Amino acid sequence: MAYKGRGAKVRVELIKNGTEVLVSANREGLRYLAEICAGLADSEHDPRTPPHVHVEPALNSAESDSVPMEFLLKPDW
């Protein structure tokens, strides 16, 4: 799952004094986020390890001015 290599742009911001999260993305970025969600939902995972994906600048998976974000599958919900 590539991020920059396919032109995806994703930015995560805290707005309204930190009370809301805004996710902005171009089309490729939205597809990238959808692939993350589908991958978590459709894959088999080790029950001892919570399946999750980090989207953040430090991992080069979000724009440099984004706040870090984590997607976590809660299979028991």
Per-residue model confidence as pLDDT tens digits over 11-69: 999 999 999 999 999 999 999 999 999 999 998 877 788 899 999 999 988 999 999 99
pLDDT exceeds cutoff 60 at 1 = no
Q: Distance between CA atoms of 63 and 33, rounded to whole angstroms?
A: 13
Residues 50, 31 contacting (CB under 8 angstroms): no
Residues 66, 12 contacting (CB under 8 angstroms): yes
Residues 66, 10 contacting (CB under 8 angstroms): yes
- The predicted pLDDT at position 2 comes to 56
Q: Distance between CA atoms of 74 and 21, rounded to whole angstroms?
A: 20
